[in-house]
Structure 1
Amino acid sequence: MYLIVGLGNIGKEYDGTRHNIGFEVIDYLSAKKGIAVKKKEQNGLTGVYHEFGEKILLAKPTTYMNNSGLCVAGLVNFYQVPPENLLVIYDDIDLATGAVRIRQRGSAGTHNGMRSIIQHLGSQDFPRIRIGTGRPKEGADLVHFVLGRFAKSELPLMENAVTEAARGIDFFVKDGVDLAMNQVNIRKKPEESDV
């Protein structure tokens, strides 16, 4: 069994904000797989689909971002999900807008939702997909930035990031985190100089 968790804040006022990009990936994937993510359990909303011979549980915590660990640890413990089968999707200000990166493990960085999950699980050894939102301007308020919405010019980049993250989830379930990283974490080479 696989547990795929998108992070965000519940409530219409948070729809479309940078901090809710994890929820957007879950919404996109659930629509693509033809399932609803509506079952209330373990401080979250869940939905199940079967693919590649696996049961895949999609989840959106309903605790607000800073307490995401309550939901994630609850689901991991209830369903006995091994750490390598957990995948968390979240926004990252340290990546360029629209960049998508899969990692096998790592620290929470500046992300309070990830900090909560690591604290509740007692480990940072689980895969994650980071989606870049870019950084706020020098001196701008970080909370205001992550709870803000994308500029119109950024929307195509973010739509592409959501579909790319969903593609990464399919690779992750079907072939494992290493292949998913190889498929998704491709950096464009800088243009070669003519000199």
Structure 2
Amino acid sequence: MRPSGRHVPGAPRPTRTRTARAAHSRTITPDVPSKIVIGLGNPGQQYAQTRHNVGWMVIDRLADRAGWSGRARNKDAAVAVGGRYKGLDLLLVKPMTFMNESGIAVRKVLARDRAPLHDMLVVVDDFSLPFGKLRFREGGGPGGHNGLRSIIDELETERFSRLRVGIGAPDRGFIDHVLSTFDPEERARLDELLDAAADAVEAWARDGVNKAANRHNAFELRPADAELLAPPGEVGGPAGDDGVRRTKTGWRKVRTEAPE
């Protein structure tokens, strides 16, 4: 029978052996503090590429970076995968309850892992932000988002951090908007946005919400045609003579073709 993982009062606490530490590189163990990242979305292939599922997309991007893709397990109304990545103990969670009941899964995950709220981040779409804008917020109301409202209702508190990912303002009813797929122009830059959001999550796990906000709340994807407005070699402009294009998230070497 599998042990419950609970400590029996009066019994000595087990020490972590080298084997246990090695196992921790593959999975989160209950006695190790971890950062829990909740990405909100809807289950079902018909929702996979919709704006409302951008939280799931960020979770998938993080899992792919860590080499955890395809290893998630179903448990407590969610799929989750975790381990040690870049010195961080992360648990990546996608609630499977549909958006409007996300709080049920979140409450169960927190109870199972005995995790404090300050170790949890919720990644969520936000149609009040332009596409490509990121914004950390520590606490606050749901802002019209039913997934956040469900979490607040289930936990009976607003005191948890969230990363809002801009999906653009609706030009029709907001329900139709959030359940629609990204426009072709947006899809062309979605990878860049997901990478930036994943970077922001890593910063939160490493440095906390305030430092992560100071660094990443200024991030915003510029329209592709606007990048040429900046001089060569400057942030947002084309590559300089050294072949490096400078962006708000770092430097990027531009691949050049060898002369014929």
Say whether 1:28 aligns with 2:46. no
How do 1:112-123 residues align onto structure 2 when only pairs under 5 Å count? Answer: 112-123=146-157
CA contact (8 A) 1:97 1:157 kept: no
Judge conservation of contact 1:52–1:174 (CA < 8 Å) in 2.
no
Which contiguous aligned blocks of 4+ residues in structure 1 show a shift greater than 6 angstroms? Answer: none
- Preserved CA contact (<8 Å) 1:44 1:61: yes
What TM-score results when the alignment is normalised by the length of structure 1? 0.91
1:76 to 110, 117, 123: 110
CA deviations over 1:67-109 (Å, ceiling 9, x no partner)? 0001111101111111111000010011011111111111101
- Superposition CA RMSD, Å: 1.6
Greater mean deviation of Cα atoms: 60-69 or 159-168: 159-168
* Aligned position for 2:43: 10
Q: Report if the CA contact (8 A) 2:38-2:123 is conserved.
A: yes
Q: Which has the higher helix share?
A: 1
1:104-158 deviation per Cα after TM superposition (whole angstroms, max 9, x unaligned): 1111011000000011111111111101111111xx2221111000100112443
Unaligned residue ranges in structure 2 (runs of 5+): 1-33, 221-228, 230-260
Percent identity, aligned pairs only? 34
**Aligned equivalent of 1:65:** 99
Instruction: Structure 1: give runs of 5+ residues left out of the alignment.
Output: none
Query: Please, what TM-score do these two structures have when normalized by structure 2?
Result: 0.69
1-structure distance, mates of 2:41, 2:206: 25
Q: 1:171 aligns with which of 203, 208, 212?
A: 203
The answer on whether the counterparts of 1:3 and 1:87 sit within 8 Å (CA) in structure 2 is: yes
How many residues align structurally? 187
Tell me the equivalent position of 2:181.
Answer: 149
Tell me which residue corresponds to 2:19. Answer: none
CA radius of gyration, larger in: 2
